[in-house]
Amino acid sequence: NLLRKKKDGKKNAKQWRTVHLFGKSRRPKESAVIVDETDSRSGYFGSAGGVSTKTILTEEKFPDNTIVTSKYTIWNFIPKNLFEQFGRIANFYFLCIAVVQLSLRNSPVSPVTSVAPLLFVVTITAIKQAYEDWLRHKSDNKVNNRSIEVIRDGGMKGVPSRNVAVGDVVRVSNEQELPCDLVLLSSSEVDGSCYIMTMNLDGETNLKPRVALSDTSSWHSCEDICSSSLDINIDCQLPTADLYKFDGRMNIYSDSATPLCRSLCSDNLLLRGSRLRNTDFVFGIAVYTGIDTKVALNQQQKKHKFSSVEKALNKFLAVFMVLLVAQVVFCGVASIIWQNLELPSYMGFSRATEASGIINIFLSFLVLFNYIIPISLYVTIELQKFFGAMFIGWDVKMYDPNTDEIAKANTSDLNEELGQVEYLFSDKTGTLTQNDMQFRQCSIYGKRYKEIDGKLQLLLDQNFESSESPTEQMQQFLIALAVCHTVKIETIASTGKITYQASSPDEKALVEAASRFGVCFRDCVDNTLKVSVHNKLQRFKLLHVLDFDSDRKRMSVIVKNPSGSIVMICKGAESSVLNRAADGAVSLTNNDVNYYARHGLRTLVIAFRRLSAADYEVIDNKLQEAKTAIGDRDTKLASAYDFVERNLTIIGATAVEDKLQECVAETLEALREAGIKVWVLTGDKQETAINISNSCGHFGNGMEIVTVNANNNVECSSLLQDVKVRMNESPGGSRFALVIDGMSLSFALSSCKDLLLSVTKLCEAVLCCRMSPLQKAKIVRMVKENGHNPTTLAIGDGANDCSMIQEAHVGVGIMGKEGRQATQCSDYAIAKFKFLKRLLLVHGHWYYIRIATLVQYFFYKNAAFITPEFYFAFFSGFSAQSMYDSIFLMFFNLAFTSLPILIYGIFEQDFNERHLLHNPSLYKILTKNKYMTMKEFACWVLLGYWHSLVFFFGVYFLFAGQEGVLLADGKTFDLWCFGTMIYTMTVIVTNLKLALQTEYWTWVNHFAIWISIIGYYLFTLFYCGIYWPSFRNGSSDLYWIFLKLVATPAVWFKTTLLIVVSLLPDFILRIYSTEKVKVMNLTLEKAARNRLLGDRLSENSSLNRNARKRNYASSDQRNPLISTENGILDLNDSQHSYV
d(CA 279, CA 282): 8
Closest to 511 in 3D by CA, of 490, 541, 525: 490
- Compute the distance between CA of residue 119 and CA of residue 525 in angstroms, rounded to an integer: 68
Give the residues across from 541 on adjacent strands: 528, 560
Nearest to 424 by CA among 795, 814, 930, 927: 795
Give the Å distances, CA to CA, from 51 to 32, 39, 622.
18, 11, 17
CA distance 542 to 214: 14
Strands of 832-915 (E only): list them: none
- Report the distance separating Cα 1128 and Cα 754, nearest Å: 48
CB count within 10 Å of CB 129 equals 17
CB burial string 571-598: b at 16+ within 10 A, e below:
bbbbbbbbebbeebbbebbbebbbbbbe
CB neighbour class for 80 (10 Å; exposed up to 12, middle 13-18, buried from 19): middle
- At residue 171, the 3 state secondary structure works out as strand
In angstroms, the CA 561 to CA 553 distance is: 25
- Residue 967 · residue 1044 · CB < 8 Å: yes
CA max distance for the chain: 125
Helices (H), 1025-1114: 1041-1046, 1049-1113
Tell me the C-alpha distance between 486 and 921, whole Å: 49
Hey, how many other C-beta atoms are within 10 angstroms of the C-beta on 385?
A: 23
Q: Hey, which residues does 499 pair with through a beta bridge?
A: 490
Phi, psi (rounded to 5 degrees) for 458: -70, 140
Q: For residue 940, what are the contacts with CB-CB under 8 A and spacing of at least 6?
A: 856, 857, 859, 860
| Sign of the alpha-carbon dihedral angle for 489, 495, 496, 497 | negative
Give CA–CA dist 924/928, Å, rounded: 9
CB hemisphere CA count around 547 (13 angstroms):
12
Q: Which candidate in 181, 202, 292, 427 is catalytic? A: 427
**What's the CA gap between 692 and 741, in Å, rounded?**
15
| β-strand pairing of 208-211 with 433-444 | unpaired
Sign of CA dihedral 471, 472, 475, 480: negative
Phi, psi values for residue 704, rounded to 5°: -95, 120
CA–CA dist 514, 534 (Å, integer): 11
Q: Specify the amino acid at residue 317.
A: L
| Alpha-carbon distances, residue 575 vs 162, 442, 534, 692, 871 (angstroms) | 50, 17, 33, 19, 77
Element (H, E) at 129: helix 112-144
**Beta carbons within 8 Å of 632's beta carbon, 6+ residues apart:** 38
Give the Cβ contact number of residue 475 at 10 Å: 17
Distance in angstroms between the alpha carbons of the first and the last residue of the chain: 68
Spatial contact of 413 and 784, defined as CB atoms under 8 Å apart:
no
Distance CA 965, CA 45 (A): 102
Contact 417, 385 (CB under 8 A): no
Q: Determine whether 885 is an active site residue.
A: no
- Contact assessment for residue 17 and residue 236, using Cβ atoms and an 8 Å cutoff: yes
Closest CA to 826 of 840, 813, 843, 841: 813
Q: E-strand spans in 315-414?
A: 408-409
Query: What residues act catalytically?
Result: 427
